[in-house]
Amino acid sequence: MVCCWDDVAASLSIVVVLLLLLLLGGIFWYYSCGNDGAKGGARIPKGSSGWPLLGETLDFIASGYSSKPVSFMDKRKSLYGEVFRSHILGTPIVVSTDPEVNKVVLQNHGSTFVPAYPKSIRELLGQNSILQMNGNQHKRLHSLIGGFLRSPHFKAWITGDIQRTVKSTLASWEHSGEVLFQAEIRKMTFKVLVKVLMSVDPGEDLDFLKREFEEFIKGLICVPIKLPGTRLYKSLKAKERLLKLVERIVKERKFDMEEERSDEKRMVKDVVDVLLQENCDISNEKQGQVQGLPLDIICGNIIEMMIPGEETVPTALTLAIKFLSDSPHALKHLKEENMELKGRKDSSREEISWTDYMSLQFTQNVISETLRLANIINAVWRKAVKDVEIKDYLIPQGWCVLASLISVHMDDKVYENPYEFNPWRWEEMGGTANSSSFTPFGGGQRLCPGLELSRLEISIFLHHFVTTFSWVAEEDVVVSFPTVKMKRGLPIRVTPFCLNVA
């Protein structure tokens, strides 16, 4: 009797397994071959959504750890075309490697596409985040910050400040011998960043901001669980501590502005001033106008603005030195251009201006080529708020669309020998740094307002570094996931041309 029941149980187990396999197979077929809905002449792009639940997430992540992070896109592009569908991080998604489609996605915002970010980022930044802000409020804030960063007053002031910071940093390297470049450059750029945002000088506040900010950003890409001891919980606590300090700075500045009570418009010196001045202007307008930002939102956005500044410039500078170390011909050309500027300014005893730095054409080509190869922002994620048709493709409402910027930057149809560091290509292309095929700072309404400032900071450092030191970089490799960085931090051995870099 026992044997009979064992046989029945075994048979039932086999049936259950077979049913599960059929069910999984059906789901897999549905994601891979079915669900090709169409609307009018447009169809959901071809593709595969991979395994149930997991989708193609594992392949997507694995490519980020490989020497060719664009391999995930390239493989599917060869199978399904430049626009294809997938299923990544639990989300059905349309992936575009087409520059024209990317341009439409980047430019159409608010009524068509809204930002889409992993849950950990949404949890850390909160519902009032500038990244998730839409419509007129975002447009106004973006315009205010961009206008300030492009103003002649700011350009003159920040150029001198960055020069002093760079010279101080290089002076500290004179007798160091070996420098862990990536870590040291982060310290330098963070000083510039908090000066632009809050006018914080070196000292206890700066040290506190850097320490807590580093703890905060560790949770941007993590498992979104907020239990004590988890990565997200620790990062949220770090944000609370950051907010307390930023709130103190903002309230002190607000008090100072109210105490002045001047009829003349106050000269703004940083982003905190810009946002507080805007609130003052709005409070003097008639009722019914756009409301000013509450102080807690200003403080949260100040912290949020530290994120791209902390990543873009130090990463670009680190990779520029890596690429130049591996390309002696490009380094020689860069050094000659900057030595010529240095000699000219030394003779005339003039300060180097923003315009001088930005007119160094080969230096700007080096920066463009570094940004193209680095792909610090490798993709932009959006979510369709309604069915969207682009070039006969249908992006269903609620689906995410990933505009792959790295795929365009590394496309051999757009850039000859795309994996080669070749600053001269920008001379041949006419320096098309704003085309739809070159988008290192995003595009559309959310084009980074600090892109000119980023180029300036990189230009200033490269100028003073190549005219002050020779160096030898140790072997190192680029890691592209979860963020772009050098695996060993790019150790370099520096030798000063002379003892006095000031």
> Which run of H or E residues covers position 499?
none
Q: What distance in Å separates the CA atoms of residue 57 and residue 53, rounded to the nearest whole number?
A: 9
Q: Where are the alpha helices (DSSP H) in 199-230?
A: 204-217
Give mean pLDDT, residues 192-197.
95
Give the per-residue pLDDT at 296. Answer: 87
Answer with the residue of higher pLDDT: 66 or 363.
Answer: 363
Percent of the chain at pLDDT > 70 equals 85
Give the per-residue pLDDT at 292. Answer: 60
Residue 448 falls within a domain, yes or no? yes
Q: Domains in the chain: how many in total?
A: 1
Residue 424 falls within a domain, yes or no? yes
Beta bridge partners of 91: 88
Long-range contact pairs involving 497-500 (C-beta distance under 8 Å, separation at least 24): 497/467, 497/468, 497/469, 497/470, 498/468, 499/174
pLDDT digits (tens, 9 = 90+) for 243-261: 999 999 999 999 888 777 6
Residue linked to tokens 């990062």: 235
Residue 143 falls within a domain, yes or no? yes
- CA nearest neighbour of 67 among 407, 327, 419, 403: 419
Give the per-residue pLDDT at 266. Answer: 66
Above 90 in pLDDT, residue 497? no
Residue 118 falls within a domain, yes or no? no
Answer with the residue of higher pLDDT: 262 or 354.
Answer: 354
Percent of the chain at pLDDT > 90 equals 54
Answer with the residue of higher pLDDT: 223 or 147.
Answer: 147
pLDDT digits (tens, 9 = 90+) for 399-455: 999 999 999 999 999 999 999 999 999 998 775 555 789 998 888 777 888 899 999
Give mean pLDDT, residues 276-287.
60
In one-letter notation, the amino acid at residue 25 is: G
Residue 146 falls within a domain, yes or no? yes
Give the per-residue pLDDT at 498. Answer: 63
Answer with the residue of higher pLDDT: 291 or 371.
Answer: 371
Above 60 in pLDDT, residue 10? no
Give the per-residue pLDDT at 22. Answer: 40
Give the per-residue pLDDT at 124. Answer: 87
Supply 328's token pair.
Answer: 């002696």
The sign of the torsion formed by the CA atoms of 431, 437, 439, 445 equals positive
Give the per-residue pLDDT at 268. Answer: 84
pLDDT digits (tens, 9 = 90+) for 465-494: 999 999 999 999 998 877 889 999 999 999
Answer with the residue of higher pLDDT: 178 or 311.
Answer: 178
What is the distance, to the nearest Å, from the Cα of residue 398 to the centroid of all Cα atoms in its chain?
24
Structural domain boundaries enclosing 477:
128-375+410-496
Residue 55: half-sphere exposure toward Cβ, Cα within 13 Å: 15
Above 50 in pLDDT, residue 30? no
Give the per-residue pLDDT at 261. Answer: 61
Long-range contact pairs involving 308-312 (C-beta distance under 8 Å, separation at least 24): 308/448, 308/450, 309/189, 309/193, 309/196, 309/197, 309/450, 310/186, 310/189, 310/190, 310/193, 310/213, 310/217, 311/376, 311/483, 312/376, 312/377, 312/441, 312/448, 312/454
Instruction: Tally Cβ neighbours within 10 Å of residue 271.
Output: 22
Residue 363 falls within a domain, yes or no? yes
Residue 250 falls within a domain, yes or no? yes
* CA distances to 62, 106, 146, 428, 445 from 139, in Å: 37, 14, 10, 35, 7
Strands 91-96 and 400-404: parallel
Above 60 in pLDDT, residue 289? no
Above 70 in pLDDT, residue 39? no
Above 50 in pLDDT, residue 269? yes
Give the per-residue pLDDT at 297. Answer: 86
What three-state secondary structure class fits 223? coil
| Average pLDDT of the chain to the nearest whole number | 84
**Residue 207's CATH number:** 1.10.630.10
Residue 149 falls within a domain, yes or no? yes
Above 50 in pLDDT, residue 350? yes
Answer with the residue of higher pLDDT: 174 or 109.
Answer: 174
* CA distances to 121, 190, 213, 417, 497 from 307, in Å: 11, 10, 9, 32, 35
Give mean pLDDT, residues 342-368.
95
Residue 111: half-sphere exposure toward Cβ, Cα within 13 Å: 2
Answer with the residue of higher pLDDT: 324 or 51.
Answer: 324
Above 80 in pLDDT, residue 354? yes
pLDDT digits (tens, 9 = 90+) for 200-243: 999 999 999 999 999 998 888 777 888 999 999 999 999 999 99
Above 50 in pLDDT, residue 29? no
pLDDT digits (tens, 9 = 90+) for 115-142: 887 778 888 888 777 776 777 777 888 8
Above 70 in pLDDT, residue 463? yes
Give the per-residue pLDDT at 198. Answer: 95
